[in-house]
Amino acid sequence: MLRTHTCGELRIDNVGEEVILTGWVAKIRDLGPMIFIDLRDRYGITQIRVDVNNFYRNAGSEIIISEMEAKDKKAAFLSKIGREYVLKVSGIVEERSSKNNDIPTGAIEIVVNLSPKSELNASGYAIKNGVHKYIQVLNPSKLPPFLIEDETDGGDDLRMKYRYLDLRRNPVRRNLELRHRVMRETRNYLDGHYFIEVETPVLIKSTPEGARDFVVPSRMNPGEFYALPQSPQTFKQLLMVSGFDKYYQIVKCFRDEDLRADRQPEFTQIDCELSFVTQEDILHTFEGLIHHLFQKVKGINLPKMPRMTYADAMRLYGSDKPDTRFGMQFVELNNLVKNKGFKVFDDAELIVGINAEGAANYTRKQLDELTDFVKRPQIGATGLVYARVNEDGSVKSSVDKFYSPEDLAEWARAFNAKPGDLLLVLAGGKDKTRKALNELRLEMGSRLGLRDKDTFSALWVVDFPLLEWDEETGRYHAMHHPFTSPKPEDLELIDDRPSDIRANAYDMVINGVEVGGGSIRIHDRRLQEQMFRLLGFSNDEAKAQFGFLMEAFEYGAPPHGGIAFGFDRLCSIFGGSDSIRDYIAFPKNNSGRDVMIDAPSPISDTQLDELHIRMRNITAPQGK
Amino acid sequence: MLRTHTCGELRIDNVGEEVILTGWVAKIRDLGPMIFIDLRDRYGITQIRVDVNNFYRNAGSEIIISEMEAKDKKAAFLSKIGREYVLKVSGIVEERSSKNNDIPTGAIEIVVNLSPKSELNASGYAIKNGVHKYIQVLNPSKLPPFLIEDETDGGDDLRMKYRYLDLRRNPVRRNLELRHRVMRETRNYLDGHYFIEVETPVLIKSTPEGARDFVVPSRMNPGEFYALPQSPQTFKQLLMVSGFDKYYQIVKCFRDEDLRADRQPEFTQIDCELSFVTQEDILHTFEGLIHHLFQKVKGINLPKMPRMTYADAMRLYGSDKPDTRFGMQFVELNNLVKNKGFKVFDDAELIVGINAEGAANYTRKQLDELTDFVKRPQIGATGLVYARVNEDGSVKSSVDKFYSPEDLAEWARAFNAKPGDLLLVLAGGKDKTRKALNELRLEMGSRLGLRDKDTFSALWVVDFPLLEWDEETGRYHAMHHPFTSPKPEDLELIDDRPSDIRANAYDMVINGVEVGGGSIRIHDRRLQEQMFRLLGFSNDEAKAQFGFLMEAFEYGAPPHGGIAFGFDRLCSIFGGSDSIRDYIAFPKNNSGRDVMIDAPSPISDTQLDELHIRMRNITAPQGK
């Protein structure tokens, strides 16, 4: 290699060695008699010291050119290097006079003695002094459009355009190093548990179920398209039919959906499937995976993950992905507050609240903010009722007009509230009110500092409903996907109360984020057909789209189930970030564009012709 | 899990244990008083013994139903199971009376005692006998369309359509297990050498350079398309600019080319790039990788790989990927055979031959076959000259009319031929003749049994030309790709003899197959621009397509280089197969179709509309 050591490698034990380093100029300091250069690479930073005295003295310390000439030489030297230049430096490791304890190489520096005979080379970039002590510019750099430092001055757009420079910054590089580590430990765990990684195809078939597909026109099959997989779902089930028994794949998936900060058109999944298992086996195996990852990557031993039914999660947190880093569980007040003359509560399907412990000192202004918060259109509550528990135990509420001190004392008891607590109550339709109170609970959790990103609380949410009714299309949708099996004991509800059927489906939730989910699958053709009918597929549609899978079920399909983890999301949780983009090397923006390479982009007419397609807004030539 | 053990796990030490196995019925043998079932899963086969005596005796060996009734019970039992049924079997491990040494579980069998009280359960598939000893049908199976055995009777088409059943066969499953092992060991080696795996995007930008792109119309960016990557080339170079230093990725790549047996539209690559390296560093690192893989996966210690220049490979083997499992190097005869009155040789640019050792006994018919072989249009030789070295040392040739015994003795000396050898000589234009003789050499290697698939011969071919002239387009093409750097010492040829410029490019060849290739890249904007000009790009074209890369070169691009290995191909070599399809779970056929899922397929008009495209053969509606 061009170097003998990396910039993160040299220690006090190396003093006296002749070394060659390569890297980027992170900083140049001209301190008169000495020039210091911080040389950076992926592995660290090493200080380079250029002794300016040597610009006019020879090896025997004899002055051989004038101070003025030496100054010119120094100026020429400084003019030839700059921030982010790529250098190759040959010098001697010396002990620093003042140690820098912030970096592992802080005990040493590399001393380069440039003598008056040092010359710029032909390319104008190299300053050499014999074979072993020199500074050579391997490549110069224009001034970067933003600071390549841990804290940068670059805005999002600029950093996206020059992503290759943003990736040079330590925090961004560390995110990808973390990702690599999580990936490696995932494979170590799964390989150790006899899983086989099998690659499934990227060019597959478009199906109308689920999100929108990205499609690929086929040149060899005119009028036909491949689709990019939203997940390898059917393939992994076929692998179970094949007897692969334990499959995994860390795999790119694709969804052509409208984008948000935490969504990307292409994302990575840890995709797994197992045969001859119960739900319990899957929860056990993958709780083990996440424990392994926390242990190996974060050094944290997570406790056993509690299980919560979907019904309880909705009742206690108003969400199927509760943030359980803090309590503040919902308390339903219907039995307590009705028929006291307060029409809002009397008319409400559900009256439900939370106890924001210690927030009784919230000012009028803060309470107004919370009221405004819950009344936002995307949250949609009509108002907020609050009640403070005073130091003397009395309760002061915004609805004192309707409720006696004794009534309010009952509220406090229902919330298990102490002096200093603040009760926040919403009322209205059940689903909407729970959803709104979930938002308020998360907001209060953030305000009260209960959502520390270095604290991790994981749980399983189980017993999801099999179906959800979609008002828009007037039919049932599969809550997980159409291959999820119903709980056998709920099958009798299939005709009369299909929405009450529970599925053998489960999600893993960490800190209020769904990091993974899966189900025990259907492995019986007749049940699968029944499921498709329930979802409004005609027999022909079901057969055209999933005939191959249903046929496979007739050739000895074992009972099987699986799970998939959102890998980008998992990495962002490990890294303590809300944005998955920070953990993707080359993410796309909210319009699905890669602004660095400027994709997507128009293609040539020849390409369109070969693919048998044309753009919709191009009118067909007349008479041709 | 539904089982206590796998079908490959039980040994003599387990005798006496109560176990539960799950798996597929590989074989049923009705031996009168006993029924034997071979139960198969991914891990192996275990024999199940059902003792028919117990059909009419109770636990105390007392006969409680008649022989006739017992026969009915046995018939009912046999009618309820069949090949490829999925069973759950509970029984006791017993020592076999006659051991089967062919399988690891051959010392034991599982004995299931079905008593007369055994009943078919409600679903009609389960035969139970108390809690712990039973055979339960978890799923029945239709008769598979071909035999699920190591040697199958299924043709290619049928096995592609029912790929999930073909994957159930041991040899196919073992191929994918091999693939997993190669993948794991690749990662182990590269992780151990400080490489970081970074995922690069799949939705990128279409470029006209190289093979045809698969494209993906963008819904959010009307009129624009993403392309699927033919390789992550530019991204890995950008990662080097970012300072990632050592990158790898095992990654899917895509080429919309016409397919052959050894080509797939999607394929997997081990993609690597390193900074601050020389060609020597790369050859060393990746020779190490392949040595590691052979050691870990095959238990073979390969010798150090020889280096051969492209020029030598063409001169000695007529190929840039010589099969060096055998010698039979080319011998050029121009100096020896001209001006003796044989016009074919006199007019030829090159007269070149091989010595097929020990083949002097080839019959007239065999020699005619060889002549026909070289005259095939795809090989294109005009004829074949041969010369046999007789036992007495005399040489008998097909051109005795023109050459004296002394001339022919000289030929034999040139070939270092011994009695019993057969010399085969072609003549014509240099390139075409070398190409034809390469084919003949490989054919003779096969015929003489010199191409054993369990013998491995690896080498590096180096010093590839930078450019090749393309007659069709009348311009130079990059032999490797436009980012490959020329050898600095050859740069002076750039204006006058560009085709003589050698590149810092290298291929690894094993057994005549190019398994990997790479180059030291250009990292200087001006040189990259010069390269694009040489390849006929206008400045605007170069900027539109690769502007982001050239701009990146101005912000401190380090010297860098890399390599990519064809992963499917590598696996097929490890497995001793010519076909990469055998190492891909769900391959496509020669028309790019997945016949199992029936993809590609038409998509809906709604989808076309959303993507702003229409099919070319649909005329635009008039007046709308």
Tell me the nearest-neighbour CA distance from B73 into chain A, angstroms: 24
Q: Quick one: average pLDDT of B293-300?
A: 97
Which pLDDT does position A457 carry in this prediction?
A: 97
A477: which DSSP letter? E
- Class of residue A343 by CB neighbours under 10 A (exposed 0-12, middle 13-18, buried 19+): exposed
List all residues 6 or more positions away from B424 whose beta carbon is below 8 Å from its beta carbon: B353, B354, B356, B370, B384, B385, B386, B437, B440, B444
pLDDT, tens digit, 9 for 90 and up, residues B427-445: 999 999 999 999 999 999 9
Q: Do domains B173-308+459-584 and B326-451 have the same CATH topology?
A: no
pLDDT, tens digit, 9 for 90 and up, residues A254-299: 999 987 767 899 999 999 999 999 999 999 999 999 999 999 999 9
Which pLDDT does position A440 carry in this prediction?
A: 98
Pairing of strands A475-478, A505-510: unpaired
Check A206 against B601: CB less than 8 A apart. yes
Q: Which of B199, B236, B582, B583 to mutate to test the interface with A (most CBs of A within 10 A)?
A: B199
Q: Is the pLDDT of residue B123 over 90?
A: no
Identify which of A86, A142, A607 has the shortest CB distance to residue B558: A86
Backbone Cα Rg of chain B:
32
Check B200 against A277: CB less than 8 A apart. no
Identify which of B1, B165, B609 has the shortest CB distance to residue A277: B1
List all residues 6 or more positions away from B546 whose beta carbon is below 8 Å from its beta carbon: B207, B234, B482, B528, B532
Rounded to 5°, the CA angle B327-B332-B337 comes to: 135
List all residues 6 or more positions away from B259 whose beta carbon is below 8 Å from its beta carbon: B265, B588, B589, B590, B591, B592
Angstrom distance (rounded) from CA B601 to CA A206: 7
Q: Is the pLDDT of residue A127 over 70?
A: no
Which pLDDT does position A131 carry in this prediction?
A: 44
- Domain at B326-451, CATH class: alpha beta
Angle between helices A310-317 and A430-447 (to 10 degrees): 70
What is the percent of chain A with per-residue pLDDT over 70, rounded to a whole number? 94
pLDDT, tens digit, 9 for 90 and up, residues A176-188: 999 999 999 999 9
Residue A544 tokens, joined: 């055209």
Angstrom distance (rounded) from CA B506 to CA B485: 12
In the stretch 487-546 of chain B, residues with CB closer than 8 A to chain A read 523-524
Angstrom distance (rounded) from CA A422 to CA A141: 58
Tell me the nearest-neighbour CA distance from A549 into chain B, angstroms: 8
Backbone Cα Rg of chain A:
32
Which pLDDT does position B240 carry in this prediction?
A: 98
B301: which DSSP letter? -
Q: Quick one: average pLDDT of B388-405?
A: 95
Model confidence band, residue B134 (pLDDT cutoffs 50, 70, 90): confident
Which pLDDT does position A261 carry in this prediction?
A: 67
Q: Is the pLDDT of residue A122 over 70?
A: no
ipTM (interface pTM): 0.94
Q: Quick one: average pLDDT of A143-147?
A: 95
- Looking at this protein, which amino acid is placed at residue A202? V
A149: which DSSP letter? S
Cβ count near A205 (within 10 Å): 25
Q: Is the peptide bond before A600 cis (omega within 30 degrees of 0)?
A: yes
> Using DSSP, how many helices (H) and how many strands (E) does chain B show?
16, 26
Residue A203 tokens, joined: 């060019």
Angstrom distance (rounded) from CA A198 to CA A239: 9
- Class of residue A479 by CB neighbours under 10 A (exposed 0-12, middle 13-18, buried 19+): middle
Show me where the domains of chain B are located. 12-139, 173-308+459-584, 326-451
Model confidence band, residue B59 (pLDDT cutoffs 50, 70, 90): low
Identify which of B22, B554, B586 has the shortest CB distance to residue A276: B22
Asked if A440 and A385 count as a contact pair (C-beta separation under 8 A), the reply is: no
Q: What rounded mean pLDDT belongs to chain A?
A: 92
Q: Is the pLDDT of residue B408 over 80?
A: yes
Which pLDDT does position A372 carry in this prediction?
A: 97
Model confidence band, residue B168 (pLDDT cutoffs 50, 70, 90): very high
Q: Quick one: average pLDDT of B344-366?
A: 96
Model confidence band, residue A389 (pLDDT cutoffs 50, 70, 90): very high
Model confidence band, residue A51 (pLDDT cutoffs 50, 70, 90): confident
Model confidence band, residue A116 (pLDDT cutoffs 50, 70, 90): low
Contact list in A for residue B585 (CB cut-off 8 A) is 198-201, 235, 239
In the stretch 199-228 of chain B, residues with CB closer than 8 A to chain A read 199-206, 208, 212-228
Closest chain A residue to B213, measured at CA: A607
List all residues 6 or more positions away from A472 whose beta carbon is below 8 Å from its beta carbon: none
Which pLDDT does position A495 carry in this prediction?
A: 83
pLDDT, tens digit, 9 for 90 and up, residues A455-473: 999 999 999 999 998 888 8
Which pLDDT does position B124 carry in this prediction?
A: 42
pLDDT, tens digit, 9 for 90 and up, residues B247-257: 999 999 999 99
Tell me the nearest-neighbour CA distance from A619 into chain B, angstroms: 6
A267 is in an annotated binding site: no
List all residues 6 or more positions away from A450 whose beta carbon is below 8 Å from its beta carbon: A325, A326, A328
Residue B184 near chain A (CB below 8 Å): yes
Which pLDDT does position A65 carry in this prediction?
A: 73
What is the second-level CATH architecture of the domain B12-139?
Beta Barrel (2.40)
Q: Is the pLDDT of residue B119 over 80?
A: no
Angstrom distance (rounded) from CA A586 to CA B236: 11
Among candidates B425, B392, B426, which has minimal Cα distance to B409?
B392
Check A617 against B222: CB less than 8 A apart. yes
B478: which DSSP letter? E
Judged by average pLDDT, the poorest of A33-37, B92-96, B562-566 is A33-37
List all residues 6 or more positions away from A542 whose beta carbon is below 8 Å from its beta carbon: A529, A532, A533, A550
Helix, coil or strand: residue A550:
helix
Express the helix, strand and coil content of chain A in percent, nearest 5 each.
30, 25, 45
Among candidates B283, B326, B560, which has minimal Cα distance to B442?
B326
Model confidence band, residue A619 (pLDDT cutoffs 50, 70, 90): very low
User: In whole angstroms, how far apart are CA A345 and each of A88, A332, A348, A350, A375?
Assistant: 75, 12, 5, 8, 17
Cβ count near B332 (within 10 Å): 16
Residue B27 near chain A (CB below 8 Å): no
Which pLDDT does position B279 carry in this prediction?
A: 97
pLDDT, tens digit, 9 for 90 and up, residues B63-102: 777 778 778 878 888 888 999 999 999 899 999 999 999 9
Pairing of strands B215-217, B196-197: unpaired
Alpha helix stretches (DSSP H) within B397-429:
405-414
Q: Is the pLDDT of residue B423 over 70?
A: yes
Model confidence band, residue A514 (pLDDT cutoffs 50, 70, 90): very high
Check A586 against B281: CB less than 8 A apart. no
Residue A268 tokens, joined: 């990575």
Q: Is the pLDDT of residue B122 over 60?
A: no
Contact list in A for residue B589 (CB cut-off 8 A) is none
Angstrom distance (rounded) from CA B93 to CA B89: 11
Residue A40 near chain B (CB below 8 Å): yes
Express the helix, strand and coil content of chain B in percent, nearest 5 each.
30, 25, 45
Tell me the nearest-neighbour CA distance from A137 into chain B, angstroms: 10
pLDDT, tens digit, 9 for 90 and up, residues B25-51: 999 999 988 899 999 999 999 999 988
In the stretch 109-148 of chain B, residues with CB closer than 8 A to chain A read 138-142, 144
Q: What rounded mean pLDDT belongs to chain B?
A: 92
Helix, coil or strand: residue A137:
strand
Q: Is the pLDDT of residue A522 over 90?
A: yes
Angstrom distance (rounded) from CA B141 to CA B521: 56
**Sign of the dihedral defined by the CA atoms of residues B214, B219, B225, B227, in that order:** negative
Angstrom distance (rounded) from CA B276 to CA B229: 26
Q: Quick one: average pLDDT of A525-543?
A: 92
Q: Quick one: average pLDDT of B329-342?
A: 95
CATH code linked to domain B173-308+459-584: 3.30.930.10
DSSP β-bridge partners for residue A465: A502
